[in-house]
Chains A and B, each alone.
Chain A
Amino acid sequence: MKLYLKYFAIHLKSTMQYKASFFMTVTGSFLTSFTVFLGIFFMFQRFHSVAGFSYEEVLLCYGIMLMGFSVAQMFASGFKVFDSMIANGEFDRILCRPRNEIFQVLAFRIDFVRIGMLLQGIVMLWYALVKCPVDWTFPRALTVALMVIGSSVLFSALFLLDGSVAFFTLQGLEFMNVFTYGANEHGKYPLSIYGKGMLTFCTFVIPYALVQYYPLTYVLGRSDRAWYMLLPIIACLFVVPCWIVWRIGVHRYKSTGS
Chain B
Amino acid sequence: MIEVKDLKKTFKVARREAGFGEAVKALFHREYELIHALDGISFSIGDGEMVGYIGPNGAGKSSTIKILSGILTPDSGLCTVGGRTPWKERRAHVKEIGVVFGQRSQLWWDVPVIDSFELLKEIYTIPAGTYKKNLSELTEILDLSKIVKTPARQLSLGQRMRCEIAASLLHDPKVLFLDEPTIGLDAVSKLAVRDFIKRRNKDHGTTVILTTHDMQDIEALASRIILIGKGRILLDGTLDDIRRGGEHIDETVAELYKKFDV
Contact = CB atoms under 8 A, between A and B. Distances in A.
Contact between A and B in the complex (any CB pair below 8 Å):
yes
Nearest to A14: B110
A7 B110 CA distance: 13
Given A98-B95, A254-B72, A93 B118 contact: no
A233 to B, nearest CB: 31
A17 B110 contact: yes
Given A13-B115, A93-B106, A2 B66 contact: no
Contacts of A3: 119, 122-123
Given A89-B101, A254-B87, A96 B94 contact: yes
29 contacts: A2-B122, A3-B122, A6-B119, A10-B108, A14-B108, A14-B109, A17-B110, A17-B111, A88-B104, A89-B104, A90-B104, A92-B71, A93-B101, A93-B104, A95-B70, A95-B94, A96-B70, A96-B94, A97-B123, A98-B90, A98-B94, A98-B123, A99-B91, A254-B71, A254-B73, A254-B87, A255-B72, A256-B11, A257-B72
Nearest to B118: A6
B contact face: mostly helix, strand, loop, or mixed: mixed
A255 B92 CA distance: 19
Interface size class of A (residues with CB under 8 A): 20 to 34
Interface size class of B (residues with CB under 8 A): 20 to 34
B95 A96 contact: no
A86 to B, nearest CB: 12
Given A10-B111, A13-B111, A14-B109, A96 B99 contact: yes
Nearest to B103: A89
B97 interface: yes
A90 B119 CA distance: 16
Given A10-B115, A92-B71, A95-B69, 6 more contacts: A3-B119, A14-B108, A14-B109, A89-B101, A98-B95, A256-B12
